[in-house]
Amino acid sequence: MRILLVEDDESIIQILTATLSEQNYVVDVAMDGEAGWQLVETYVYNLVLLDVMLPKLDGISFCQRLRSRRSAVLVMLLTARKTPADKLAGLDSGADDYMVKPFHPAELVARVRALLRRGTTAPSAVLTCGNLRLDPSAREVTCEGQALHLSRKEYLLLELFLHSQQQVFSRGDIVDRLWSYGEDPPVEDTVKSHIKSLRRKLSKAGAVDLVETLYGQGYRINPAYGAVAAVQVPPRPPQPPQTIQATLHRVWEQTRGLCFERVAILEQTIAALQATTLDAAQHQAACQSAHKLSGSLGMFGFDTASQLARKIEEILETNDRPLKSAQVSLAQQLQPWVTAIAHSLTLPLPGEAACATLLVIDSDAAFIQTIEAEAANCGLRVVPAVSLSSSEIQLQLSPAAVLLNLSLVHDPTEQSLWAKSRAGQPQLPILVLSERDDLEERRRATAVGGQLFLRKPVSAQEAIAAVQLLLHPQSQHLKVLAVDDDPQILLGIAAVLQPHRIELVGLEGSGQFWQTLKTVQPDLLILDVNLPQANGLELCRSVRQDFRWHWLPVVLLTDQQDSATRQQGYAAGADDFIAKANLTTELALRVLNRLNRSRSRRPTPEKDFPYT
């Protein structure tokens, strides 16, 4: 399938073209609206990925022009604007879907796959011919059960032939469908070479002469094989391939320099603000740099840095051409955020194996050195801060844990401000050190969010052992069973729980519920209220009636917030409710709380069920 990407951010272009190409899509790229329009008038596309804020012709106008020409091509808008009015404007222009930047490439792939399924009559068909079988959802080709390892172009050739088994494809047809606009046009021998290589692999697997040459016309599936209609199979859950992380890493290494250049523009803007010499051109360049950093850093997984860039963009847009009297204070406001973004560019790509960060807030340099040496033995990287104010930047970068000397918290006002600075990180593990051990000091430790308290003097070994206890509180392997008929919801739950070392087993639908429950032996159950067959309320009620499972904590997922639904859920025996809209903000906290409370209640089979 052929996709047109119209986007003006080079980083995002490289991420999306690399990711979509890994999924065997042919991707053409345009960096402004008018260039994109020329391509859409020249080629036939299955989907257009369209940035809203484009030079020359914006995405909304582009989409409106498409629909005015009665074009049925699918359109997905990509934008940093996320208000309801922005979304309505995009959908009213004729777009089929809408994604808000930043987003993870794996999510985009899943949404693209779902959108393309909507636009085809056989969304999850396995293509067959003789003993040959091509599964587009898994991108697998087998012949008599033997897997064929094809290159990307060979796979696309075979998919093209199998989709239209009676059609003859000339070399020009093949080039138009399988080579993107940005690629160098292949010579005649290049197409022949790919066909020859595909035939050789097919013959080796037993499909001899599957691809037939009609001299002077082109290529097609050999009629001697007898074309078999596509076999419909249930769609697989959209599982992003493991190659997405590798692709992100490769593109990040190629485009990291662009991010540094954009940060440099912001640093130059701050210098101009401090000197009260900011002009309109510098202001506009800073807005554009912040906008592009917000989108690209978020796609690479630097969520906090992306949010800071978005804040900078909003403040600069609000303070258009600030008065000289306000420029210095504006520079002071933006400086720590730009510093935090610059520091994030030096960190490993999120999702890669790397040392966790321990933020140590203490003015004792000798103590910090001993902590650094001990932490290194445990795979922790220490980032020191000598005061609460200097720790705010490091907190924006989401350390794994904090070691805080309580003597640096001098008054309730400072304590409150620091608590606000970490308000977006309610899960942040904090170990508090103090030279006092009285009730008032422990109250202060609680006020700053401390979960563990140690009295000084304390050795580095004791401190790091306490940090490790905070980071890995669960010594046993914890499992959660989630039942939902939406595979994307299951993927989202798994992503939220994985950082807490909680294994998720997802079950699509309730058909195999009891068999899966007995096999998995979960510590907690998550049920979608609106399930086909037996719904979540019915499953919850049946769990409470079972003498082996009546203790199992049950959390219900729902799109409904009305009191009647909650009353029905609690009457069925549910322990908690979570709105699907709040999965990322509440799910991990609530699940961890339920697991911690229920561990002591879980029965032991040998003790509680001696006859089973």
User: How many whole angstroms separate alpha carbon 519 and alpha carbon 295?
Assistant: 42
Residue-wise over 501-529: b if at least 16 C-beta within 10 A, else e? ebebbbbbebeebeebbeeeebbbbbbbb
- What is the structure's pLDDT at 480? 93
| Contact (CB, 8 A) for 435 and 444 | no
- What is the structure's pLDDT at 605? 47
Q: Would you call 547 exposed, middle or buried from its count of C-beta atoms within 10 A (0-12, 13-18, 19+)?
A: exposed
Which amino acid would we find at residue 187?
A: V
CA 356 to the chain's CA centroid? 20
User: How many whole angstroms separate alpha carbon 581 and alpha carbon 574?
Assistant: 19
User: How many whole angstroms separate alpha carbon 526 and alpha carbon 424?
Assistant: 25
- What is the structure's pLDDT at 238? 43
Statement: residue 123 has pLDDT above 50: no
Mean pLDDT for the stretch of residues 269-283: 88
More confident call, 179 vs 467: 467
349 contact partners, CB below 8 Å, separation of at least 6:
248, 249, 252, 300, 301
More confident call, 398 vs 564: 564
**350-408 tens-digit pLDDT:** 765 556 778 888 888 888 888 888 887 777 778 787 777 655 555 555 678 889 998 88
CA quadruple 192, 198, 204, 208: dihedral, nearest 10: -70
pLDDT mean across residues, the chain: 80
User: How many whole angstroms separate alpha carbon 563 and alpha carbon 248?
Assistant: 44
- What is the structure's pLDDT at 607? 45
Residue 184 DSSP symbol? P
More confident call, 413 vs 519: 519
Mean pLDDT for the stretch of residues 270-297: 88
What are the φ and ψ backbone dihedral angles of 308, each rounded to 5 degrees?
-65, -40
More confident call, 236 vs 556: 556
Residue among 209, 229, 207 nearest 220 (CA): 209
- What is the structure's pLDDT at 612? 41
Percent of the chain with pLDDT over 90: 9
Which amino acid would we find at residue 605?
A: P
CA 205 to the chain's CA centroid? 38
More confident call, 612 vs 140: 140
Statement: residue 121 has pLDDT above 60: no
- What is the structure's pLDDT at 599? 57
Statement: residue 305 has pLDDT above 60: yes
**Which of helix, strand or coil describes residue 362?**
coil
**Which of helix, strand or coil describes residue 375?**
helix
What are the φ and ψ backbone dihedral angles of 228, each rounded to 5 degrees?
-110, 135
The secondary element (H helix, E strand) that includes residue 526 is strand 524-528
- What is the structure's pLDDT at 610? 43
Residue among 20, 56, 12 nearest 37 (CA): 56
pLDDT tier for residue 214 given thresholds of 50, 70 and 90 = confident
**435-460 tens-digit pLDDT:** 888 888 888 888 888 888 888 888 88
**Which of helix, strand or coil describes residue 577?**
strand
| Contact (CB, 8 A) for 79 and 50 | no
User: How many whole angstroms separate alpha carbon 272 and alpha carbon 263?
Assistant: 14
End-to-end CA distance of the chain: 54
User: How many whole angstroms separate alpha carbon 309 and alpha carbon 292?
Assistant: 8
User: How many whole angstroms separate alpha carbon 97 and alpha carbon 240?
Assistant: 20
pLDDT tier for residue 526 given thresholds of 50, 70 and 90 = very high
95 contact partners, CB below 8 Å, separation of at least 6:
50, 63, 75, 76, 77
Least confident of 33-37, 78-82, 106-110, 300-304: 78-82
Q: Where are the alpha helices (DSSP H) in 129-242?
A: 152-163, 171-178, 188-205
Statement: residue 592 has pLDDT above 80: no
Mean pLDDT for the stretch of residues 251-261: 79
User: How many whole angstroms separate alpha carbon 554 and alpha carbon 523?
Assistant: 10
**41-95 tens-digit pLDDT:** 877 888 999 998 888 998 889 999 988 888 888 998 888 776 667 777 777 788 8
Least confident of 131-140, 157-166, 257-266: 131-140
Statement: residue 343 has pLDDT above 50: yes
Least confident of 91-95, 212-216, 386-390, 496-500: 386-390
Percent of the chain with pLDDT over 70: 83
- What is the structure's pLDDT at 541? 93
The secondary element (H helix, E strand) that includes residue 312 is helix 303-318
Dig out the tokens for 335 from the structure.
């400086």
pLDDT tier for residue 232 given thresholds of 50, 70 and 90 = very low
User: How many whole angstroms separate alpha carbon 20 and alpha carbon 365?
Assistant: 49
Statement: residue 611 has pLDDT above 60: no
| Contact (CB, 8 A) for 141 and 150 | yes
122 contact partners, CB below 8 Å, separation of at least 6:
230, 232
Statement: residue 583 has pLDDT above 60: yes
Mean pLDDT for the stretch of residues 500-525: 89
Residue among 66, 62, 94, 60 nearest 79 (CA): 60
Rounded CA Rg of the chain: 29
**166-204 tens-digit pLDDT:** 888 888 778 877 777 666 667 767 888 888 888 888 888
